[in-house]
Amino acid sequence: MNRNTDDLIESILKRQNKDGGWAYNRGASLQGAASWTEPTLYAALVLKASSADRSAIVRAMQWIGGRQQHDGGFSPYESVEQSTWVTSLVLLFSPEDFGAQCYQAALDWVLRQTGQEASWIYRLRLRMTSQSDRNGITGWPWFPGTVSWVSPTSTAIVGLRRAQLYTSSRQGEIANRIEEGKRFLISHTCQDGGWNHGSEKSLGYAADSYPETTGAALLALRGVPREPLSASIERAKKLAATCSFSEGVSWLRMGLAAHGEALPAQPASGKARNLRDECLEVLSERVTEGAVQL
């Protein structure tokens, strides 16, 4: 950690917007001061896991509640009228935080989402270009109507895992989607063992993995037997030893912790660049302490 965790939490708390949300960026000198759903959810998650002022969390939940769309999903920004992947992050909270109906609607929305790779027309297109359709195994897209990628799939798996604790409905469906999502991730492993955004090959060339997506995928793959993931865990350790940026180190820390591993002794962590990075730093610490389970 670059800074004391309590200082970080205090700093996060101070930057709550008047509307109850948080912006991505850090200070007034930077552009982009309006509240966004993702940093607000991360900030609220951090505050929930601390002894911070509850009223800040309540105001955050109210702002987040206003982002719910008619289809049950959540939009990423106040003026955006489209549910996106951020809905999966809502599932990290409990039904009491948003109200049981709102939570259930978000869960239903996440379960309805599949990538276009599951559609027959996309699979046909792949076959016509002599590519494997991977049996249509699907994860989650960033944006409805497109194909699945590693980050939103990892987030959805972690969110659904959390939802299993809170709901008695659709348990079989939730378990099936989690398992299929894990298969999606494993089928998109890069040659080096890690994960990038989701294109492990491009025109026949192997692409390198990224620290942040490797950590996120390993976190989502918690519970998968170690053997098939041994190359991935080794890759994560190598990436952590050289990763120079905060976001990557935080995700690797959480991903390795999910498999009983710690970061190398001296990760080369850089400074947090925005509020999301800061929240991930705190969360990764809480996850490794066992105070938060993702």
Partner 1 sequence: MAERIEPESARISRRDLLIGGVAVAAAGLGAAAAVSSRASSSHLPVPAPSQVAILRCESYQQSIYSTVSQAISLCRVSVKGKNVVLKPNLVEFEPGSVINTNPMVVHAALEAFRARGARSVRIAEGPGHRRNTLDLADAAGYFNVIPGFEDLFTDLNLDDVTNVKLVRPKSKLKSLYLPHTVLGADLLVSIPKLKTHHWVGATLSMKNLFGVVPGGVYGWPKNPLHWAGIPDTIMDLHNIFPRQFALVDGVVGMEGNGPIQGTPKTAGVIVAGHNMPAVDATCCRLMQIDPEQVSYLTGCTVPGEIAPRNIRQIGENINGNSTRFALIKQWQALRLAGGKV
- Residue 212 sits in the site that holds partner 1 (CB under 8 A): yes
Residue number, 120 or 205, with CB nearest to partner 1:
205
Residues 235-274 that bind partner 1 (CB under 8 A): 244-248, 270, 273-274
Residue number, 72 or 76, with CB nearest to partner 1:
76
Residue number, 62 or 146, with CB nearest to partner 1:
146
Candidate list 205, 227, 260, 265; residue touching partner 1; CB under 8 A: 205
For residue 277 the two structure tokens come to: 């990075």
For residue 141 the two structure tokens come to: 């897209």
For residue 221 the two structure tokens come to: 């793959």
The strand ranges marked E within the chain are 201-202, 205-206
Residue number, 146 or 293, with CB nearest to partner 1:
146
Cα angle vertex 91, ends 169, 249, to 5°? 140
Candidate list 104, 113, 151, 269; residue touching partner 1; CB under 8 A: 151
Residue number, 192 or 277, with CB nearest to partner 1:
277
Please give the Cα distance from 26 to 193 (Å, whole number). Answer: 34
Report the SS3 class of residue 42: helix
Distances (CA, A) of 179 to 2, 7, 103, 135, 224: 36, 39, 22, 14, 10
Q: Min. distance of Cβ 117 from partner 1 in angstroms?
A: 8
- Residue 135 sits in the site that holds partner 1 (CB under 8 A): no
Q: Min. distance of Cβ 85 from partner 1 in angstroms?
A: 7
* Spatial CA neighbour of 240 closest among 278, 284, 279, 293: 284
Distances (CA, A) of 36 to 16, 41, 119: 11, 9, 31
Q: Which residue type is seen at 178?
A: I
Residues 84-103 that bind partner 1 (CB under 8 A): 84-85
Measured from the Cβ of residue 292, the count of other Cβ atoms closer than 10 Å reads 18
* Spatial CA neighbour of 6 closest among 62, 38, 49, 41: 49
Candidate list 4, 55, 79, 168; residue touching partner 1; CB under 8 A: 79
Which stretch, 32-40, 89-97, 153-161, 256-264, contacts partner 1 (CB under 8 A)?
32-40
Q: Are 180 and 218 in contact (CB under 8 A)?
A: no
- Binding characters for partner 1, 46-75, by CB under 8 A (x = yes): ------------------------------
- Residue 180 sits in the site that holds partner 1 (CB under 8 A): no
Please give the Cα distance from 60 to 58 (Å, whole number). Answer: 5
- Residue 145 sits in the site that holds partner 1 (CB under 8 A): yes
- Residue 25 sits in the site that holds partner 1 (CB under 8 A): yes
Alpha helices in 144-274 (DSSP H): 150-166, 171-187, 211-220, 226-242, 246-257
Which stretch, 5-13, 40-48, 88-96, 205-213, contacts partner 1 (CB under 8 A)?
205-213
Positions that interact with partner 1 (CB under 8 A): 24-25, 29-34, 36, 38, 76-77, 79-80, 82, 84-85, 116, 122, 125-126, 129, 131-134, 141-143, 145-147, 149, 151-152, 187-188, 196-205, 207, 210, 212, 244-248, 270, 273-274, 277
